[in-house]
């Protein structure tokens, strides 16, 4: 009788341990869902903030100083370069949240395809999950590069704009 009780207790312990592992895995999936929602909101807001900032300020400066700028070819060239760099920054900024969103979708796919088992290890990532993690990492690092490119574009555009102001 004692052997059966020990086996029953061991089985119950194993089931509770597996249930905890499954719960942790499902919690990770829930967290990824929330991150996807956050990135989708950022994807809608980021372009509006950038467009309202640098590009609008440049165009406002141009319209306020049209007479002074129209007679100077070098000043117009600097203005066009500044605006082009700012617009490049805007395009990269629009792209970055989308890449982050896709990375989170890939991570969610990786987590949601885990196989839950009653034997150790209780949560097993199949091949599809491993591929999804690699895709998520690719999108994440692409997002980092794009954000850095956006920062560089806005910085160069700002420096060109400052140079333009100094020439007037």
Region of poorest pLDDT, from 30-44, 54-68, 80-94: 30-44
Mean pLDDT across 45-67: 78
44 pLDDT more than 70: no
Find, among 151, 164, 161, the residue nearest to 57 by Cα.
161
Region of poorest pLDDT, from 21-30, 100-109, 138-147: 21-30
- Looking at the structure of the chain, the number of domains it has is 1
136 pLDDT more than 90: yes
Find, among 110, 107, 86, 88, the residue nearest to 39 by Cα.
107
Find, among 83, 94, 69, 81, the residue nearest to 146 by Cα.
94
Task: Look up the domain containing 68 and give its range.
Answer: 2-167
pTM: 0.70
């Amino acid at each position: 009788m004692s052997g059966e009780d020990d086996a029953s207790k061991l089985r119950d312990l194993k089931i509770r341990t597996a249930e905890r592992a499954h719960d942790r895995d499902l919690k990770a999936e829930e967290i990824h869902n929330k991150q996807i929602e956050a990135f989708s909101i950022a994807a809608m807001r980021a372009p509006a903030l950038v467009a309202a900032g640098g590009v609008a300020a440049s165009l406002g400066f141009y319209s306020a100083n049209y007479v002074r700028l129209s007679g100077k070819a070098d000043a117009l060239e600097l203005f066009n370069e500044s605006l082009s760099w700012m617009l490049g920054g805007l395009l990269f900024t629009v792209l970055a949240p989308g890449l982050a969103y896709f990375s989170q979708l890939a991570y969610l796919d990786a987590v949601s395809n885990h196989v839950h088992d009653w034997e150790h290890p209780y949560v097993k990532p199949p091949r599809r999950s491993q591929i999804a993690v690699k895709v998520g990492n690719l999108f994440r690092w692409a997002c980092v590069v794009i954000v850095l490119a956006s920062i560089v574009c806005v910085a160069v555009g700002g420096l060109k704009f400052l140079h333009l102001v100094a020439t007037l």
